[in-house]
Structure 1
Amino acid sequence: MMTDDIHSLSGAYAVDALTDAERAAFEEHLEHCAACRDEVDSLREAAADLSLLSAEEPPASLRHDVLRRVSTVRPEPPRLADRRARRRTRTWLAGVAAAAVVAAGVGVGVTQPWQDTSQAPQLTVAERIERADDAQRISVSFDDGSVATVLRSESLNRAVIETSDMAPPPEGQHYVVWLQEPDGQMHHAGAMPADASDASMPLKGDAAAAIGAGITIESDPQTPEPTSEPVALFSFT
């Protein structure tokens, strides 16, 4: 079930206990939340510490038990200035794993029992799109040599914009990305960060139904519709 406080998903994300929808939403949130990125790194370090206890193979039932416990216990949102909160979150992660070990009757530590060690590391939205069979990559080059690229997968219903050496917008202005719907309407898909020179931003909206994307320069980053001509257009058809 999706939580109202997306920050609290950091613990479950670190142990791969989110649904696909939760994972996609949280990864989009990570792009803009340094606190959650630090929290996830901290939790993964704690998980690595647990793996040093033993390399004994856990029983098959252990993974299910740990995932069940993780899905019902969520850490508090991260607070960068509160080190005690970080220690409490580390303790939560270790406690869940230790409790599952005891419940399964295993007297030694295990190597991250909630994960299949044969699986690849968690991928970003862009990496998942690139690995999709229907991945599209549409690039636009500007006169100054900079490049903007939209990655899209219809099957994943996700799209990401990536920039390389992108010049900043005029002072007080913002780059805004739009997804074009089949009826021609433009859907606000996100305002790019202030430093868009080398950025990667998941786009909001129905990427599967969209027929294209565009970038405009706007004074209001949350404008509900474009107020200027696009500086870049990307066709998905």
Structure 2
Amino acid sequence: MTTTDLHQLTGAYALHALSDEETVAFERHLAGCEACAQEAAELSATAARLGLAATVSPPGALREQVLRRIGTVRQQPPDGAASVVHRGRARLRGRQLSRWALAACLAAAAALGGTAVWQHQRAEDATREARRAEQATDEIAAVLAAPDARTRAAALGDGSTGTVVVSRSRNQAVFVVAGMPHPDRGKVYQLWFDDDGAMRSAGLMDPGRTDQAVLLQGAVDGASGMGVTVEPAGGSEQPTSSPVALLSFPT
């Protein structure tokens, strides 16, 4: 396998579509290729963000309601979404995915994934859980699409990758991870802001998901970075274990 071949495997690696032999060869290549490491992390972030469309479980009666209303309600894609997705695919084929294309793809995916939920809310009044999920998705998309959004990606070990996206204008940050091992039973991954060595809780990750995007809870303020530790279920006031990941915020 040539170096040129390895440069072309970032997309397949992000989707866990490589064989064991190819994965070993590509991860060896990642250690010495900053461009591929960055691109693989960003593509992994894209894949994880696309998965957010499936985080809301529809009510059991939704199918019956949709079938009853299908003759009178025509679902339309959001304005411009088709062209955004088309451009995103073209850039993926060209291997160069900029931060702006990433934000556009993720925003389009959020809009497309939320269409059915939005229609149900208009028809039947959304549940509190659906509203919270939609709000979280919107906030994540807003950070990713912010004009001043800056990203930093890193390999976290065990084949996982993490990307932190920071918007200073919104004073918010998002952590996107792919391939994170499940924590031990009764444990959870907890996020922290690094305030010049003082760790401030930034919320919990979903222990049942290996790929996810999480809005850090709280303001970025003067934090210089973030960390991830393994804590007892429910989280801790202060870290009780060594960090499994530390990322400095992009400037």
Give TM-score, length-normalised by structure 1: 0.48
Larger proportion of helix = 2
Give TM-score, length-normalised by structure 2: 0.46
Larger Rg: 1
